Structure formats: C-alpha cells, structure tokens
Structure 1
Amino acid sequence: MVWYVNYDIVRGLPWERLVIIKDRRSHRVVTPSAARAYIQTSTTSVLEVTTEVTGENGVQLSLTAAQTKDLPTGELAYDVFATCKLYGTDVEKQISKGLVNVSTTDRVTPEEDSKALELRYTQKTDFYRTFTWKDSEGDVQTVQSAYMQAKTSAGVTV
C-alpha cells in the first residue's frame, strides 16, 4: 500500500496535498481513521506535518508558510502513516513516502519594500506564478497559479 511520490515545496509559502488511499489489489478507496506525517529535516530531527482525515476518504497534508520557511533547501525524505481498517482490524500502515524538494522562492513579486515590479518575458506567453504580498495589517497574502497578462497603457493585450 506504500506509494512513492515526490513533491516540491517553495520556502516561505503554504503547502497542501491530498493523499487518497486505495487498496493495491482491488483499487478501492480505503477510509483512514487517523493519520500522521513527518519530514526528515536533518539526521537527528523531523518536522511533523499537519494531517487531517477528510470527507473524501483522504489525508490532507499541510504546512504553514512559517513552517516551510524554516525548512532547509534540498531534498528531504518524508513518510505518511494512516490507521485503516484491514480485515476488520485497525492497522497503522505507511501509505506514502518519498522526497520533498525544498527550493527558495522563485516568485516574481518584489520584496515588500520595493516600489516597482519588472517582468521580462516573451510576448504572447501565459505567465503562471505564485504571487505574495503583505496586506494593510501585515499579513502575507498568497495567490497560487495566478494568470498574468500584459496590456499596454491603452488596455490592449500584447
């Protein structure tokens, strides 16, 4: 029942993934009753990932922006365990493992103290990125997979 999956995490941005558990033989969805997950941050320490059993019979993994900011860059091993009912008995099984590739922010939005945003990109190309900014209360706001399109001062799409 262990699935090997690799994920990407950008430091300083929130991260979420939904893991649906299926029986390897029958491919039926297995309903977990509890779950836990860990990312190995060094040879002697691990970070516990926030887990939640969802109504979709899955396990929601999530890290806050503050948690991802503290992760070291590079490839880190992770493990996800879930308690599932197998043959009438609750059993804890490892359901997923692999590597998370932690990278620094590749955002195009400038730092908060910058007054301008400059993009150098080819014409007629869609531009999807994660944009972050601080609102008036100082909270970091994030828009993921935002679509950016260039327009001239006359409002014509280029």
Structure 2
Amino acid sequence: MRNLILLLALAGTVFGIGCGGSNQDAGSATPVEQQEAAWAKMMEVHDAVMPKMAEMNRVSRELKALAEGLEDKTQLELINNAVENLEAASEGMMVWMGELQQPKKLREEKSHEEIMNYLNAETEEITQVQEDMLSSLEQGQTLLKELQAETAAE
C-alpha cells in the first residue's frame, strides 16, 4: 500500500511538471507581462503597415503629377478622391502615433484594467488605420495604373 501511495505521488509530480511546463498563460502572467504582450500585439499591426507610408506618398505624388493639365473632370475627380484618401490615411497614422502613450507612462496614473482597455482600444484604432491605408493605397495604385495605361495608349 505504501509503495502504491509513493508511486501515485511520483506520477502526480511528473504529470504536474509535464503539464505545467514553462509556458505562461494569461492567468499566470503578471500585469506588466500582460500589458507588454498587448503592446506587442498592437505594434505588430503598426509595424506591418508603417512601411507602406512611402508607397502611399509615391502614389499620391504620381497621381498629382498626372492631374496637372488634365481637363477630363471625371478623371480629375477620381484623382482628387484617391489623393484625399491617401492623405487622410497617412494623417490617420501620424495622429495615432502622435497620441499613443507608452505603457510605462500609463502605469504612473492608471490601473492595470485601464491600461489593458486603453491598449485594446488602440489596437482597434491601429487596425482601422491599417485598413484605411491598405484600401486607399490599393485604390490609388489601381487608378494610377489605369491612367498610365491610358496615357501610354495615346
């Protein structure tokens, strides 16, 4: 009987070590670790789309150049709308970055729950900025290709 108890205790210990592992779940992570993970998740979205800013500026400049001297009001309106969308999306990124607060600064004034709510809201906001940037860039690139093809055909 005593050997059975020792065997069960040993099996329980091995099972506990095997299942416990070194991976931390959200329940065992400290508040700072949770905040840093939320920050990292948010910044992944930012870092994925930020490099698109240069391409957005290039497309905007090229569209503006094509608009110079253009008399077709329909095409001019399409160009102006595309440029406005590109500039608004770019401005959205700049505003978001300018208003973003670091978790370290937030910890001076806010509770963990408030910080997590803030980071979740900022993740939603940067995701919307990403969608705006990608859709305006796609729209601008498509229009630019169409206009360049028309110009080449003339």
Pick the TM interval, shorter chain: under 0.3
Structure (1 or 2) with the greater strand fraction: 1
**Larger RCO, structure (CA 8 Å, separation 6 or more):** 2
Structure-1-length-normalised TM-score = 0.17
Structure-2-length-normalised TM-score = 0.17
- Whichever of the two has the greater Rg, that structure is 2
Structure (1 or 2) with the greater helix fraction: 2
